[in-house]
Amino acid sequence: MAALRLKAGAAAWWPHSASLPDCSCIPLPPPSGCQRCSLPRLRHLLCSLQGFLTNVLNPKVALFFLAFLPQFVDAGAPSKPLAFLFLGMLFIFNGTLWNLFVAWSAARVAGRFSASGRLALWLNRTVGALFVYLGVRLVTSHEG
């Protein structure tokens, strides 16, 4: 259990530890051996593919649908698979609308933060410090 706590603490701390000093002027190179990552369009496609695979292969999503959707399907429905398909498509439609709204809102907020370099730097350092604190707190927590 202690090893799991250490791993989780390191996972929370490591990606954000670089945000504490001012490293915003240092460009990050693409992963080693990846010539395709220099193309922005392909990079977006790879990110989309990674997100799709993460959602499809995530067992929590399947468990959610197996536990949540059956309560909305009438036991006497003539075609239960069609009812599940309809509810799944409705969930996808609503989720897509919501995610588009979140992406649009995040783009607007990011545009405002990028206009103010000092605000973006302050926010980056604050969030980085929060994750470092949470990582240290997780590692030093005692089982109770």
Instruction: For residue 137, give Cα distances in angstroms to 4, 9, 42, 88.
Output: 14, 8, 38, 39
Total-model pTM:
0.47
Instruction: Work out the average pLDDT over 86-99.
Output: 91
Instruction: Work out the average pLDDT over 60-69.
Output: 82
40-59 pLDDT, tens digit per residue, is 666 677 877 887 887 778 78
Higher pLDDT, 135 or 5: 135
Place of tokens 């240092």: 26
